[in-house]
Amino acid sequence: MGCGPSVFDDYLKNLPQPILTDPTGFAAAFCPVAIDADCLMDIRSLAAAHHTTPFAVLLLCFQLTLYRFNGIPDQVTGIAHAARDDMDTENTIGFFMNTLVIRNRIQADRSFSDLLTRLAHTLTQVIEYRHIPFHRISQHYREQRQSAPCFNILFLMQTMDLPALSIPGIQCDRLTIQPPDTNMDLTLELYDQQTQLTGWMKYRSSAFSSQDMTMLSRQFKQMIRHVSKQTETTLEDVLDSSRFRLSPMQHSMLMETLRAPQGAGCYVEQVVFDIHQEIDLQRFSEAWNRILDCHTSLCLGFTWKGLKEPRQFFVPTPLATIEYNDWSRFSAFKKKEYLDMFLMADRRLGFSLDKPPLFRIALIKTGIRHYTCIWSFHHCIADGRSMVFILRDLFALYQNPGLPLKNRNPSKPISTG
């Protein structure tokens, strides 16, 4: 095999094309990630048992999490190789790093142990060609009439932490500067601090939402626990254990929503009610958070990509986000006009059924001791009777925050038929 970029022709052939929502949007946002000491110990033990590195275990968990998130089995991730391979470069000041492309065609019916062994083999093979500058590989890739970049997701792991700066008589603290822009859709950067891993997910805010990243961060940590504790379990087993059948009516609503242009307005329920008293926004938010803790059906999402039939799943309970507007200075005519426009725009916005939560809450001040609340949700997660229970509990919790609630949800969604 040659030593030029052409050795990667088959390896990089027919790469999955990234879906860019806004190719000009480079604004970055961050989501913190922390792996505790017990979890880190499990990672190191698993790596030792498979004669590989914690880096390989974490990369596998990251790629499996992305597969679970976006349903794409062909995961392509950029990594940074230090290229300090001998004693001469280990302590030399300079820049030796090179970017490598790690492609993992994930088979969900293979055990985690098999997937880790195969990924470790891929890493070994790719690292053999670490001397080929990445810009030459990227240029060769473009010359093969591939217009998209090789990857738009990056995984970085720093194993050498910066030393503490000690100056007699001066207290020094290190500040982490997070740049406002990024040329990657998503970057996971972790720092090995011996007893724990800390870091963040840096993402393009035009490609992901903060809710996406919160869910992705939680699923990443869940995946680490699955991989390190149940090595002979398959990804398929993990996904099946957290996915449930739809009822016939849910299935019909899902299909109709997917067939509609962007799902616009399909089965979007809007509950609008007036409140004739002063509202404490913090207390109102806390009441909604209690509702979400108790009524888990509001945390449902749906998945269908690559499956024989759609499934529904729970996500960790999100925090309630309430959109607040003050229209009290407007005339009655303008308030009605604005409310009609708001409801129409809200319906057209619809919901991405694979990206829960599938509800929105808005609170509008329309006068002194007068508010209008708009609770929008997709009909797949709640029916008419559920609305009654939820609103009754909401009003009771706002009046009495310490009120115990009856959990009306089963441990998993109920499907009939």
Q: Is 398's pLDDT higher than 60? A: yes
Name residues whose C-beta falls within 8 Å of residue 3's C-beta, 6 or more positions apart in sequence: 129, 131, 132
pLDDT tens digits, residue range 39-64? Answer: 999 999 999 999 999 999 999 999 99
Q: Is 222's pLDDT higher than 70? A: yes
Q: Is 346's pLDDT higher than 70? A: yes
Res. 18 pLDDT band, cuts 50 70 90:
low
CA-closest candidate to residue 60, choices 236, 223, 225: 223
Angle at which helices 210-229 and 112-127 pack, to 10 degrees?
A: 100
By the 10 Å C-beta count (0-12 exposed, 13-18 middle, 19+ buried), 300 is classed as buried
CA-closest candidate to residue 150, choices 225, 100, 81, 195: 100
Q: Is 409's pLDDT higher than 70? A: no
Residue, of 129 and 305, whose pLDDT is higher: 129
CA-closest candidate to residue 68, choices 104, 102, 106: 106
Res. 304 pLDDT band, cuts 50 70 90:
confident
pLDDT tens digits, residue range 60-88? Answer: 999 999 988 887 889 999 999 877 777 77
CA 159 – CA 44 distance, rounded (Å): 13
- Mean of the per-residue pLDDT values for the chain? 86
Among 258-262, 295-299, 409-413, which range has the highest average pLDDT?
295-299
* 209-213, 267-271, 358-362: least confidently modelled range: 209-213
CA 106 – CA 16 distance, rounded (Å): 13
Q: Is 374's pLDDT higher than 90? A: yes
Alpha helices, DSSP H only, in 209-275?
210-229, 235-241, 248-259
Among 79-88, 127-136, 308-317, 390-399, which range has the highest average pLDDT?
390-399
CA 372 – CA 247 distance, rounded (Å): 33
pLDDT tens digits, residue range 145-157? Answer: 666 788 899 999 9
Among 161-165, 229-233, 275-279, which range has the highest average pLDDT?
275-279
Residue, of 413 and 59, whose pLDDT is higher: 59
- Model pLDDT, residue 408: 59
Q: Two tokens at 118? A: 């195969």
Q: Is 414's pLDDT higher than 60? A: no
pLDDT tens digits, residue range 321-334? Answer: 899 999 999 999 99
Mean pLDDT of 245-258: 92
Secondary structure class of 68 (helix, strand, coil)? helix
| CA distances (Å), origin 98, targets 79, 84, 137, 211 | 9, 10, 11, 32
Residue, of 177 and 292, whose pLDDT is higher: 292
Residue that is written with structure tokens 């990804």 in the block: 235
Q: For residue 118, how many other CB atoms are within 10 A of its CB?
A: 16
Mean pLDDT of 194-206: 90
Q: Are 86 and 129 in contact (CB under 8 A)?
A: no
Domains annotated for the chain, with CATH where assigned, are 25-162+177-241 (3.30.559.30), 253-399 (3.30.559.10)
* 117-126, 141-150, 301-310, 391-400: least confidently modelled range: 141-150
- Model pLDDT, residue 15: 81
CA 299 – CA 317 distance, rounded (Å): 6
